[in-house]
Amino acid sequence: MNKIESICIIDDDPITVFGIQKMLSLVVQCDDITVYRNGKLAIDGIKQRIEENKQAPQVIFLDINMPIMDGWQFLDEFITLPTSEKVRVNIITSSIDKIDLQKWECFKQKTDHTITFNNKPIRKEHVAEITKVA
């Protein structure tokens, strides 16, 4: 089973969070999974980790539509953070809006981090595939 140091799930929908957590427990071995209910809480939490000299999460599951700070606004700030390692950001969304796909393309150009775009619903096999170190 694949082993990941730390994973972060950013989503305001408890069912999606439950689903991702359940699938992760089946496909990877990880002792550090953090859940944030929106982008704002997530960016604050990750900043704090970096301040405490802890490693940034290796894999992030990111929702787009969230209150206060959405997925894109989170990415805007996240890619400016001083991270030592490359991070894999898996966008998990039910959006099939072209604009969201364009934004994704745009972010891929702007950063060295790996960013993937995944439409709901996601399956266990797919989670296994996208949950690895970038």
Q: Which residues pair with 90 in a beta bridge?
A: 61, 116
For residue 111, the one-letter residue type is: T
Cβ(4)–Cβ(28) below 8 Å = yes
13 lines the binding site for another protein (CB under 8 A): yes
22 lines the binding site for another protein (CB under 8 A): yes
18 lines the binding site for another protein (CB under 8 A): yes
Q: At its nearest, how many Å lie between another protein and the CB of residue 67?
A: 4
Q: At its nearest, how many Å lie between another protein and the CB of residue 6?
A: 24
Where in 64-103 is the site for another protein (CB under 8 A)?
65, 67-68, 73, 94-97
Query: How far does the chain reach from its first CA to its final CA, in angstroms?
Result: 17
Closer to another protein by CB, 65 or 111: give it.
Answer: 65
| Omega before 14 within 30 of 0, i.e. cis | no
DSSP 53: T
Assigned token pair, 117: 């775009």
Q: List residues near another protein by CB under 8 A.
A: 13-16, 18-19, 22, 37-38, 41, 65, 67-68, 73, 94-97, 120-123
